Structure formats: C-alpha cells, structure tokens
Amino acid sequence: MPNKLLPPSGPGRPKDLVKRQAILDAAKNLFISNGYDGSSMDAIAAEAGVSKLTVYSHFTDKETLFCAAVKSKCEEQLPELFFELAADAPIENVLLTIGRSFNALINSRESVELHRLMVTQATQNPKLSQLFYEAGPQRLLNEMARLLSRAELTGKLRIDDPHCAADQFFSLVKGGANFCLLIGCGEPLQGAAAEQHVQNAVTMFLRAYRPNQAAR
C-alpha cells in the first residue's frame, strides 16, 4: 500500500534517512508490481510520500535508484556482518547462517518477482540486467569470496579459487527447487525442509573444502 505518511524520525534516526528508506521501499514495490519501465520517478515519489526533488536528491536517476533498491533488498537478508569471520567462529556455523539467509532471500516474493522481471528485461535492456547483477548477485559473490579467502588463510578451509567456491556454495543452496519456483512449478522451501536443504548444502561444501578432506 502507498506509504503516504512517513514515520517520525526519532532519536538517532535523521529525517533524511527515513525518507531515503521510504523511497527505497516504494521503489522495490513499484519495480516489482509495475516493472522497470512502468515505474516512473513521479510514481515512486508519490508512493514514498515525498517530492520528486527529494527522490532525485537521494538518487540521481532511475537506474541508480534501481541498483540501490536491489542492494537494499540483499542487505536486509544478508548484511555485511554475516560475512565477517571471527577467529573463534566455527566455519560450519558461519556457512549455515549465510546459507539460511540466502535461502530465505532467493525464496522471498520480492526476489522471485525481481528475477522474473530481469528475465523479461534481458533482451530489451541488457544494461539494466548488468546493473542488477552487479548490485545483487555479484556483491554477494564478492563478499562470500572474501570470507572464503579469510577461511583459507586461517586454515579453516583449503580453497584454491575462492570466487569459484563462492559460486559453488550459492549454487548448492539454490538447487533445483529455486529454479522450479522461478518458473512457477514449485513452492518455496520453508520450515524443516528449508533447514534440511541448507544443512545438506553446507555439509557437501565442507566435504569438498575442509583441510582434512582436501588432503586425502
């Protein structure tokens, strides 16, 4: 529903940050419901309850706003904090946390609709597809590769190519179930089924990259 009334800023919550978040929320809703071409900056401003000038003061154009909306959605589910690796943190627990959050992200309504939107845009606007990839999937791959590099340096894992391993990890979590969901012939994994799926993916990943396994 339109967000006509902005919440009070409150202590430690500057008004401009509240407006920025309102714009991002409005953009995510409209891009998903109306598509990229069908979502004007005027409509996003009206949905957010701000002026168009305010929208442009935060985001210089619609492409910039689209990228920010994609990044915001990813960061909601997978904040950068998840990709930190404390010295005493069991690598399995870290991978499970990331796997659960990534699984929830790719199975969310917003993510599914956004991916379907990008498929329709693939031949019409390849530049937009590239922007989407860089703001979303590429960011997560880079964060995961950095995490795996640290795990390799600290001896928690043995990995020759962290970027390849990061891609393999996310591919394991996505699996066939997410593809079925995207094309409309399956339901999102939830509850115990989702947990078992993530645990299986992490177990398989660790079998490949634990130091003791790699040494065999």
Q: How far is it, in rounded angstroms, from Cα 17 to Cα 15?
A: 5
- Give the model's pLDDT for residue 165: 98
Scored b (16 or more CB within 10 A) or e, 194-215 reads: beebbeebbeebeeebbeeeee
Q: How far apart, in whole angstroms, are the C-alpha atoms of residue 67 and residue 55?
A: 14
Residue with token string 């000038």: 53
- Give the CA distances from residue 84 to residues 24, 80, 150, in Å, rounded to whole numbers and listed in that order: 26, 7, 9
Q: Look at the pTM and tell me if it is higher than 0.95.
A: no
- Structural domain 15-60, CATH architecture: Orthogonal Bundle (1.10)
Beta-carbon neighbour count of residue 142 at 10 Å? 15
Residue 203 dihedral angles phi and psi, to the nearest 5°:
-60, -45
Q: Where are the domains of the chain?
A: 15-60, 71-214
Report the CATH superfamily, name and number, of domain 71-214: Tetracycline Repressor, domain 2 (1.10.357.10)
User: What is the per-residue pLDDT for 87?
Assistant: 85
The number of helices, as runs of H, and strands, as runs of E, in the chain is: 11, 0
Q: What is the pLDDT of residues 56-88, one digit of tens each?
A: 999 999 999 999 988 888 888 788 778 888 888
Ranges of the chain with pLDDT below 50 = 1-13, 214-216
